[in-house]
Chains A and B, each alone.
Chain A
């Protein structure tokens, strides 16, 4: 089982709709959870992070965390064509020795259709 799993997509949504992206993780000791957006050929940029159960909202983005079920999701409201990108889920684990290791999923490609 992969440590961080995402559906590769593509996920296609019409402009103005809500896009829902999901991620599951295997390590119950995971501490923090991140969503990155990556445009083709570019480096990832952080859009949301969450570490407590529940919802966290920032503008059109909402991250949802459920540690009991080991999943984290990202909702994008009023989707725009500029949101078309690959969204990477990442999980931070504190390893023995105090090392903080971040593991990434393979990403979900989102296409927003005008």
Chain B
């Protein structure tokens, strides 16, 4: 089965700890994304990567870091500098040809920091 996997589904951490969220895709997509969603809100872009070893900050990158060492993997680290880390985190990958563009989402990780 092709798709995007995120693990774990639920994650609990104490304040002050860094935590890394996993995102793996076997769709052979070049581009990958991390979004954050808060209750009743849309998706806000944290980081995105168009190719391996390259990534760009999104709209709310402060307190987060990423790496893209392999095409299949795009892990997100939520650092202790992120003031309100509790949220639903969504990873996505995309395919693009001309005007055609489709973005696929993983099942998400719900992070709770107390």
Contact = CB atoms under 8 A, between A and B. Distances in A.
Across chains A and B, which 5 residue pairs bring their CB atoms closest together, nearest first?
A106-B42, A43-B105, A104-B43, A104-B42, A51-B99
Residue of B42, B50, B90, B103 contacting most chain A CB atoms (<10 Å): B42
Interface residues of B, number: 25
Task: Tell me which of B50, B90, B99 has the highest count of chain A C-beta atoms within 10 A of its own C-beta.
Answer: B99
Interface of B: 31, 33, 35, 40-45, 48, 50, 56, 58, 90, 94, 96, 99, 101-108
B45 A101 contact: yes
Say whether chain B's binding surface is mostly helix, strand, loop, or mixed: strand
Contact of B105 (A8, A44, A49): A44
Interface size class of A (residues with CB under 8 A): 20 to 34
Contacts, number: 57
A99 B42 CA distance: 21
Interface string A85-99: 000101010000011
Given A44-B105, A100-B96, A102-B33, A107 B50 contact: no
